[in-house]
Amino acid sequence: AQSVTQLGSHVSVSEGALVLLRCNYSSSVPPYLFWYVQYPNQGLQLLLKYTSAATLVKGINGFEAEFKKSETSFHLTKPSAHMSDAAEYFCAVSVFGNEKLTFGTGTRLTIIP
């Protein structure tokens, strides 16, 4: 079975500062990893995904994440936070041949003006 752990249920950063949201995974087979964003009372939007190609993955809205097998991590970063980035972010894992997604507990990102 696979799982993800998101460190920090709540992260606050100043507008223009670096955003770093942490995600560590556990999987007995090579994983597929995802970051989703959820705005209040809305569904999930895919930010980016890792599916065993390049380890540095670029997504929408200026976000990127790096797959580090040695650290079992897939942290999400953005160089400069924008007010519109305030939302809930979920890391998720699946494995090839099994499309079930297992979600982390989420990190609420607050942007300080």
Q: Residues in the site for other proteins, rule: CB under 8 A?
A: 36, 41-46, 49, 90, 96-106, 108
Question: Within a 10 A sphere around the Cβ of 52, how many other Cβ atoms?
Answer: 11
Q: Residue 19 or 37: which CB sits closer to other proteins?
A: 37
Distance (Å, whole) CA 110 – CA 67:
24
Q: Residue 22 or 108: which CB sits closer to other proteins?
A: 108
What is the nearest approach in angstroms of other proteins to the Cβ of residue 10? 10
What is the nearest approach in angstroms of other proteins to the Cβ of residue 79? 26
What single-letter DSSP state applies at residue 18? P
Question: Measured between alpha carbons, how far is residue 85 from residues 63, 96, 105, 112 in Å?
Answer: 10, 30, 18, 11
Q: Residue 42 or 55: which CB sits closer to other proteins?
A: 42
